[in-house]
Every structure is written in structure tokens, then in C-alpha cells.
Amino acid sequence: MRHRSLLVLTTVITTGALTLTACGSRDGGDSKDNGGGKKTTVVIGVDAPLTGSLSALGQGIKNSVDLAAKTANKNNEVPGIEFKVEALDDQAVPASGQANATKLVGNKDVLGVVGPLNSGVAQQMQGVFNSANLAQVSPANTNPALSQGDNWGKGEFKRGFKTYFRTAATDVVQGKFAAQYLFKDAGKKKVFIVDDKQTYGAGLAAIFAEEFKKLGGEVVGTDHVTVKETDFSSTADKVKTSGADSVYFGGQYPEGGLLADQIKKTGANVPLMGGDGIQDPAFISASGEANEGDLATSIGYPVEKLDTAKKFIEDYKAEGYKDPYAAYGGYSYDAGWAVIQAVKAAVAANGGKLPTDARAKVVEALGKVSFEGVTGKVAFDEYGDTTNKQLTVYKVEGGKWVDVKSDTFNQ
Amino acid sequence: MHELPQQLANGLALGALYGLIAIGYTMVYGIVQLINFAHGEIFMIGGFGALTAYAILPTGTSLLIAIPVMIVGGAICSVAVACAAERFAYRPLRSAPRLAPLITAIGLSIALQQLVWQFYPDAKKAVSFPEFKGAAFKITDSLAIQRADLFVLILAPLCMLALGVFVQKSRSGRAMQATAQDPDTAKLMGINTDRIIVMAFAIGAAFAAVAAVAYGLDKGQINFEMGFILGLKAFTAAVLGGIGNIYGAMVGGVVLGLAEALSIAYIEDIPGMSQLGGGAWSNVWAFVLLIVVLLVRPQGLLGERVADRA
């Protein structure tokens, strides 16, 4: 009896951990031909969390890429090519992302992949795609190391994976922008920093902290929270007693919303600021306490305000997707469109037919892509990062994210 | 140390919540020696049941009236699901090797999560739950107790008291003790053990529903995944207090809650330990505590006194 409970405990915990990682892929696309004649099928893979607490963002990514493919087919963007989308669910779990990457690589019709949402997932996928020479464009990854190598912080930039591209600006840009806004525009001098220990959250918080200190601000305390936990009241009380006038949170909206709420409940009337991970309606709607005054940076100008995005929004509505395009819809559409443009260039260079080494040619063409997209000009620099460094600060006003400052970031 | 009372209050409230859920693990284990891994999801369904009950009430109903309705609504849902799980998933496996029901429970846990995710409107992300209006009660300058924390701190001991009286005094409670002690003999003495087992599941589920309402009122939101981590913690609390012992569940919960709150606040103040403190390490310290307790008292804090467990 005595040993049993320990044994059972370990069993349960291990299996619990396994269930988190094991239930991954769900077959989204069908690869069979419509029999529409001689058109060659090119599949654009999508990897994003389609279920789980980040599914609001993942579904937006999937639908936006789907819209890009449909638009290309309708306009006959690449003559002789029919685009299809195969969407796989990674549940924001790195191991699932890797399994999905292997699956996409195995389908020879896949010439480009849009995704994933999470930087931590991307880390596990890059190697798989690189060895298969399959292009990957993430609409949402912001961790600098993904494109600039692990030593980017020391000023050594080295592109690790030639197949990796992204339409999202990195956390270097975002973290610094946030620090400058909080220090200069909002006039906050004492910040308490919390992160969720994930690749994205911890990275962003570190960049923010460095810039905030450089500007002359003071970091009065730090703490970490665990993803999927919900009781942060002890951390919230630490924020209160630290005397901070603001909180910076590196992480995603499920924990961010709860943390902001619980900090307000302690009576500490300080705004919480975060990155694009918390800039979601769910951040506000999920917790009852008012989030008024909380801040978030997000990449790009607000999609609703860009002239280039109007058509995207109209088309998205017309398609009648069940979920909204969410924070990364525009970037996902652009990422999908970049893949389509790369396929177009590869086909054009090969006399109107898909080249035999299509994947390599698409990677090559992707580096040279340049077009006016939903979110502005889409092009990639020598690391595969977007050349578009526009950022916006959003503030919760009247229960909604309202943009308060948009700017182009230059160091 | 001026924040100590506050951290104790946080830990107590969290621990009371763990304890309420842990009752479900410990009752079922005490009687059928099954770790009902789906209990975290029973808790989650209690929360969604309560929310549904709230949605049915006319808008603007005072929370004082709404809360009892929500508890009843949540309990109806969670008890129904727990009884159905017992009847259709666990009872057919009662004489099977021990691993079979355990794996079934894990499967059930995933299935219930996905069902809610799929079919409850808007449950794909966190959904809002009514909250207490008004500020926290200020006891002293450095101690403020949230209304929802007060709610769980009052309700949990009341529930425990009721359960204790029920198990000790009532006919069914004694039948429950007898079944826990020796199911075969209990059956020979004319006790309908199947009914007793269902009752154990139902009581655990009702407590989980109370916990879910307290949780929702505190956090202002519930989501389909919330049972997973909380279930794991509550199970830990049950083991810590001595699985099979109902008072142990509450004691284990409170100890675990306090350990988490205090480790977040104070470990980093110990010289040389600043890297090992804060929220990142609270689970580690909670489990270190569990291991230490199990090394010294393998039967848990309140032991597994066979005659008493129910």
C-alpha cells in the first residue's frame, strides 16, 4: 500500500505530461485532386495551435492562409497551379510541431509552410524544414534567435536556417519599443517584470528589461509564472509590496489576463504592459476586473487602419470563416502570399512549369520576394526577417484594445 | 516580512480550494482504490454547469441569490457526469487489473475536455464567470482578503464539517466506512456497495462543483483546461494529507497551498537562493515538500488509518 501511492503518483504525472504532448495532429487537408484537368497541385502547409487556449490565434492564421490560397486560385495568380492548404494542429506544444513538420516534409506537394505561432515550437521545426529544404514563413514568431542565431545578443548574427522566414518583427524591436514607450511616453520609472519561462516570454522580458534599465528606469522586482496555472495571487502581492508603478509581462494572454486581473485585485493600481502575445480580445474578456489602462505592443500598424488591408478584411468576411482573423491574420495572409509569389517566381523561371527541385527554388525565390501586402511592404532581409519594422502600442480603453501610438522603429 | 499575513491568506484560500477538490480523489480512492484522474474534469464541468445556471437566471440577479443556484446547477452537472463515468467507465472494470481503470480515467479526462471544448458555446477560450463586485476586505494595512477568497475560506470548513458528520453519524456514512474497510464483508452484511460507490463519486463531484464556483468567482473566468493542473495539485494534496482520509485531503490542500504561496514570496529572500525562488519554482518546492513528507510518513500527514477512511 505504501509504495503504491508513490508509484501511482509518478505514473499519473508522467502520463499526464504525455497526454499534454501526445494528442497533436489532426488531418486537416485532403490531398486528393478535384480532377480539374491538368493543374498541378501545390500544398501550402499550416502549423498553428488549432485547439487549446491559443486556438483563437491559430484559427485566424489557418483561415487567413486559406484565404490567400483561395484568392490565388480565383485570380489564377500562378497559371497551371492549384493551391491547397493543409493545416495541422500543434497545440502550442513543441514536440507536436516537430511531428507536424516531419509530416509536411513527407508530402511532396508541400512547397511552403506558414507557421507556427509560438517561437518555442518554431525552434523544434526549423531543423526538420532546413534538412528537407522546405520554406517556412512564420506570421508570429518574434524570438530573435530563430533567424539571427543564439548569439544575437552579443552582436554576432548568424543565420542558422536558410529555409526560415517571418513576416513578424522580432522581440528586439518589440521589447525596445515597449520600454521606450513605457519610460518616455507613459512616464513609468519603476517596473516589475514577470515572464512565463517560455522562449517567447522570457526572451521578450529580458530585452525589455535591458532597454528599460538603459533608459534610466529601475526594475524593482522579477518573478515568473507557469503556463496553464491560474493562481498568481502571491506574485500579485509581491508586485504590490515592491512599490512598482508598472508591470511588464512577457507571455501570452491566458496567463497575462489572469495576472493583470489579480494584480488589480490586490489594490495595486498599476498598468500591465506586454507584447503581442497578450494583445488579444481574450485578454480583456476573460477576466472580470477591468483591465483599463493595460498596454500591449503589437507588430505592424493596426490592420483595420491600413488601406492595403481593407480588401483582406472584406474578403475574410465574405468567406464567412467561423473565427476572426485575430492578431496575426494579416501577417498570415502575407506569409501565405509570399509563398505563392515564390512559387510563381519559381514557375516563371522554369518556363511555366513547376521545376523538379521546386522546394529549393521556392526557398531561393522567397528571399527575393517583394510586394505590397496586407500589412505593408513584404520583403525579407539577409536573415529571413521582415524588413517591415512598424509597431503599434495598444491600450485597453472601454473594454477594447485601442491603438495609441504607431511608429516605425529604427534602433 | 510585512506581507506575511497576506501570503498566508493567499495560501489558505488556494489550499482550501485544493482541499475541496482533493475530497473527490480521496473518497473514491478510499472506497475503490481508484485514482479518478478525470476528477479534474468533473471540477471543470461543475464550473461550466454553474455558468449555465447563471446564464439561465434573469440578468441582474444578485450574486447572493445566484450563488446557491450556481452551486446547485454546477453540482447537478458534475454529479451526473461523475455517476455516468462510474457506471459506464469504471464499474465494468472494477475487477480488471488496476492499470485498466487508471488509463480509462486518463482517457475520460481528455474526452471530457474535448467535449466541452467542442460543444460548449465559446469554450474554445476562457469564458467569463460572474465575479463579486466591490473591493477586498481590508483587515489591516497589509492584509486584504478578496471576497471570493473569503467565500472559499468559509465554505470549505462548512463542507468538511457536513461531510464529517455525514460519514460519522449517518447510516449511509457508516455503510461507506464499512465498504471502505472491507467491501466483501460489507456486502455480506447487506450493504448495497454499488450504491455506496456511486455515492462516493457523487459527493466528490458535488464538492468539486463548490470548488469550481469558488474558483470562477475568484478568477472571473473558467476554461476547459482548468481541471488539469488543479486536478493534479488536488491529487497531490490528497496524497500529502494521506489518501483515503477525508480530513487529510483538506489538511494536505492547505499545506500545499501555503507551501506554494510562501515559496513564491520568501525562498528568494534566503541568501544564495534567489535563483530558486519566485513563481517559477513554487511547484518544485511543493513537490519537494511532498517527497519529504512521504519519506518521513509514507502514509501521508494524517495517515491511512484503515478503519477510518471513507
Among residues B268, B301, B260, B252, the alpha carbon closest in space to that of B284 is found at B260
B131 touches chain A (CB under 8 A): yes
Map residue A222 onto helix, strand or coil.
strand
Q: How far apart are CA A86 and CA A174, in angstroms?
A: 31
Grid coordinates given for B14: 488556494
Which of the four pLDDT bands, split at 50, 70 and 90, describes residue A376?
confident
Q: For residue range A259-276, list pLDDT tens digits in order.
A: 998 998 888 889 999 998
Examine residue B152 and state whether it is found in any structural domain, yes or no.
yes
Residue B69 has pLDDT above 90, yes or no: yes
> Averaged over B48-74, what is the pLDDT?
92
Q: What is the DSSP letter of B270?
A: S
What was the pLDDT predicted at A13?
A: 54
Preceding omega of A116 cis (within 30 degrees of 0): yes
B261 touches chain A (CB under 8 A): yes
Q: Tell me which chain B residue has its CA closest to the CA of residue A286.
A: B128
CB contact under 8 A, B294 and A258: no
CB contact under 8 A, A289 and B11: no
Q: For residue range B174-232, list pLDDT tens digits in order.
A: 999 999 888 899 999 999 999 999 999 999 999 999 999 999 998 888 989 899 989 99
Residue A343 has pLDDT above 70, yes or no: yes
What was the pLDDT predicted at A34?
A: 44
**Cβ(A382)–Cβ(A159) below 8 Å:** yes
What was the pLDDT predicted at A137?
A: 96
Grid coordinates given for B148: 471570493
CB contact under 8 A, A257 and B221: yes
The dihedral region occupied by B246, where left means phi > 0, alpha psi between -120 and 50, and beta the remainder, is: alpha
CB contact under 8 A, A228 and B229: yes
Chain A: give the shortest CA distance to residue B118, in Å.
Answer: 10
Q: How far apart are CA B45 and CA B115, in angstroms?
A: 10
Give the contacts of B42 (CB within 8 A, at least 6 positions apart).
Answer: B24, B36, B78, B81, B82, B85, B112, B204, B205, B208, B227
Q: For residue range A142-174, list pLDDT tens digits in order.
A: 889 999 988 887 778 889 899 999 998 888 889
Contacts of A232 in chain B (CB under 8 A): 279
Q: How far apart are CA B48 and CA B38, in angstroms?
A: 15
Give the helix/strand (H/E) hosting A44: strand A40-48
What was the pLDDT predicted at B135?
A: 74
Residue A74 has pLDDT above 90, yes or no: yes
Map residue A137 onto helix, strand or coil.
strand
Map residue A42 onto helix, strand or coil.
strand
> Averaged over B300-304, what is the pLDDT?
80
CB contact under 8 A, A223 and B279: yes
CB-based burial label for A352 (10 Å; 0-12, 13-18, 19+): exposed
Which of the four pLDDT bands, split at 50, 70 and 90, describes residue A365?
very high
- The four Cα atoms B77, B80, B85, B88 give a dihedral, to 10 degrees, of -140
Given B265, B283, B298, which is nearest A234 (Cβ)? B265
CB contact under 8 A, B223 and A231: no
ipTM of the complex: 0.80
Q: For residue range A324-342, list pLDDT tens digits in order.
A: 888 889 999 999 999 999 9
Examine residue B189 and state whether it is found in any structural domain, yes or no.
yes
Examine residue B229 and state whether it is found in any structural domain, yes or no.
yes
Place of cell 495560501: B11
Strand duo A135-138 + A110-114: pairing:
parallel
Chain A: give the shortest CA distance to residue B303, in Å.
Answer: 10
Q: For residue range A173-201, list pLDDT tens digits in order.
A: 899 999 999 999 999 999 999 999 988 89
Place of cell 494534496: B237
Residue A48 has pLDDT above 50, yes or no: yes
Q: How far apart are CA B254 and CA B244, in angstroms?
A: 17
**Worst-scoring range by mean pLDDT, A50-64, B45-59, B132-146, B221-235?**
B132-146
Q: For residue range A295-322, list pLDDT tens digits in order.
A: 999 887 887 777 788 899 999 999 999 8
Q: What is the DSSP letter of B86?
A: I
Contacts of A19 in chain B (CB under 8 A): 106, 109-110
If one counts the domains in chain B, the total is: 1
Grid coordinates given for A331: 501577417
**Cβ(A208)–Cβ(A175) below 8 Å:** yes
Three-state secondary structure readout of B105-147: HHHHHHHHHHHHHHHCCCCCCCEECCCCCCCCEEEECCEEECH
> How is chain A split into domains, by residue range?
36-168+305-380, 172-299+391-408
Contacts of A11 in chain B (CB under 8 A): 102
Map residue A346 onto helix, strand or coil.
helix
**Average pLDDT over all residues of chain A:** 87
Among residues A167, A130, A170, the alpha carbon closest in space to that of A146 is found at A170
**Cβ(A263)–Cβ(A192) below 8 Å:** no
Examine residue B158 and state whether it is found in any structural domain, yes or no.
yes
Give the helix/strand (H/E) hosting A219: strand A218-224
> Averaged over B43-48, what is the pLDDT?
96
Residue B143 pairs with which residues in a beta bridge?
A: B140
Per CATH, the number for A172-299+391-408 is: 3.40.50.2300
Q: How far apart are CA B242 and CA A382, in angstroms?
A: 60
Examine residue B140 and state whether it is found in any structural domain, yes or no.
no
B52 touches chain A (CB under 8 A): no
B3 touches chain A (CB under 8 A): yes
**Cβ(B153)–Cβ(B139) below 8 Å:** no
Place of cell 464556483: B213
CA A285-A198-A17 angle, 5° bins: 90
- What phi, psi does A217 have (nearest 5°)? -80, 170
What was the pLDDT predicted at A24?
A: 38
Whether A172-299+391-408 and A36-168+305-380 are alike in CATH topology: the answer is yes
Q: For residue range A199-210, list pLDDT tens digits in order.
A: 889 999 999 999
Q: How far apart are CA A70 and CA A84, in angstroms?
A: 8
Percentage of chain B beyond pLDDT 70 is 97
CB contact under 8 A, B298 and A2: yes
Contacts of A21 in chain B (CB under 8 A): none
Chain A: give the shortest CA distance to residue B53, in Å.
Answer: 18
Q: What is the DSSP letter of A51?
A: S
Q: Which domain CATH number covers B221?
A: 1.10.3470
B144 touches chain A (CB under 8 A): yes
Percentage of chain A beyond pLDDT 70 is 89
What was the pLDDT predicted at B163?
A: 95
What was the pLDDT predicted at A22?
A: 42
Grid coordinates given for A9: 503518483
CB contact under 8 A, B280 and A224: yes
Q: How far apart are CA A290 and CA B134, in angstroms?
A: 12
Grid coordinates given for A19: 497526454
B264 lies in which domain range?
4-132+145-296
Residue A219 has pLDDT above 60, yes or no: yes
- The four Cα atoms A141, A143, A146, A150 give a dihedral, to 10 degrees, of -170
Residue A31 has pLDDT above 60, yes or no: no
Residue A403 has pLDDT above 80, yes or no: yes
B256 touches chain A (CB under 8 A): no
What was the pLDDT predicted at A25?
A: 38
> Averaged over B294-304, what is the pLDDT?
85
Map residue A114 onto helix, strand or coil.
strand
Across chain B, the runs of DSSP E, i.e. the strands, are: 127-128, 137-140, 143-145, 221-222
Strand duo A295-299 + A164-166: pairing:
unpaired
**Cβ(A376)–Cβ(A306) below 8 Å:** yes
Q: How far apart are CA B85 and CA A240, in angstroms?
A: 44
**Average pLDDT over all residues of chain B:** 90
Residue A27 has pLDDT above 50, yes or no: no
B197 touches chain A (CB under 8 A): no
Q: How far apart are CA A395 and CA A403, in angstroms?
A: 6
Q: Domain A36-168+305-380, what fold? A: Rossmann fold (3.40.50)
Across B184-224, the runs of DSSP E, i.e. the strands, are: 221-222
What was the pLDDT predicted at A399?
A: 87
> Averaged over B252-261, what is the pLDDT?
94
Residue A214 has pLDDT above 80, yes or no: yes
Helices (H) and strands (E) in chain A, counts: 13, 14
Q: Tell me how many residue pairs between chain A and chain B have CB atoms under 8 A apart.
A: 144
> Averaged over A107-117, what is the pLDDT?
94
- Residues 214-243 of chain B with CB under 8 A from chain A are 215, 219-221, 223, 225-226, 228-230, 232, 235-236, 239, 243
Q: Which residue has the higher pLDDT, B273 or B286?
A: B286
Place of cell 493542473: B229
